[in-house]
């Protein structure tokens, strides 16, 4: 059992600079997020930071997913700054979802991802994200995100491999 807190130390944040606010999602981005989910994924948990763009993106995803016959087990939100991320992490993994879908600002998600990896059975490889998390600083800040995938605003996709975020052209853009 790991005992050191996974909370990001303020000294680690100094080199990062500012993160941009999440931009509103696009139709192509939403379609790519849905396409990235394995066909066997029926039940998903949706998570978002508390900004308007992330809330709107996950609401659009949830409606589209349900229209396709999928189940949204729960929707979890979190602030950008918190003393503890354990409650949100436990809510994200409750109910054993087939996959997770996330729209969030990078810093809050990095904090949550560290807690998810530290305290739960969450798997980044079963997580699909909106374009707001396609930030090259995220893997270094959040630690092990290998396999996390997402959509770009123009409908291409990206994935985390080690400490790199790689964009994959799908031919949609």
Q: In the chain, where are the structural domains located?
A: 22-168
pTM above 0.95, yes or no: no
The pLDDT of residue 171: 65
Distances from the Cα of 90 to the Cαs of 32, 58, 115, 172, in angstroms? 27, 19, 9, 36
DSSP letter at 34?
A: H
Q: Which two tokens stand for residue 118?
A: 């530290």
pLDDT of 17 reads 66
Note the pLDDT of residue 67: 95
CA–CA distance from 5 to each of 1, 35, 124 (Å)? 12, 35, 20
pLDDT reported for residue 1: 44
Other beta carbons within 10 Å of 76:
21
pLDDT of residue 138: 87
Tens digit of pLDDT at every position of the chain (173 positions): 445 556 666 666 666 667 788 999 999 999 999 999 988 779 999 999 999 999 999 999 999 999 999 999 999 999 888 778 899 999 999 999 999 999 999 989 999 999 999 899 999 999 999 999 998 888 888 878 999 999 999 999 999 998 888 888 776 65
Query: Which residues make beta-bridge pairs with 47?
Result: 76, 102
Give the separation between CA 59 and CA 144, rounded to whole angstroms. Answer: 27
List CB contacts of 9: < 8 A, sequence separation 6 or more: none
Torsion of CA 168, 72, 104, 33, to 10 degrees: 20
Task: Give CATH for domain 22-168.
Answer: 3.40.50.2300
Name the CA dihedral angle for 161, 167, 170, 173, rounded to a multiple of 10 degrees: 160
What per-residue confidence (pLDDT) applies to 13?
62
């Amino acid at each position: 059992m790991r005992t050191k807190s996974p909370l990001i130390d303020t000294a680690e944040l100094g080199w990062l600079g500012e993160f941009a606010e999440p931009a509103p999602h696009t139709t192509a981005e939403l379609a790519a997020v849905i396409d990235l989910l394995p066909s066997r994924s029926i039940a998903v948990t949706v998570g978002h930071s508390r900004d308007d763009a992330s809330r709107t993106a996950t609401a659009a995803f949830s409606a589209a997913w349900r229209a396709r016959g999928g189940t949204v087990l729960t929707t979890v939100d979190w602030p950008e700054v918190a003393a503890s991320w354990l409650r949100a992490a436990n809510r994200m993994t409750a109910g054993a979802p087939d996959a997770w879908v996330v729209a969030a600002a990078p810093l809050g998600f990095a904090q949550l991802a560290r807690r998810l990896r530290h305290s739960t059975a969450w798997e980044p490889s079963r997580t699909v994200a909106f374009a707001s998390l396609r930030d090259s600083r995220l893997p270094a800040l959040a630690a092990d995100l290998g396999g996390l995938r997402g959509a770009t605003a123009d409908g291409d996709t990206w994935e985390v491999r080690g400490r790199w975020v790689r964009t994959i052209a799908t031919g949609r853009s």
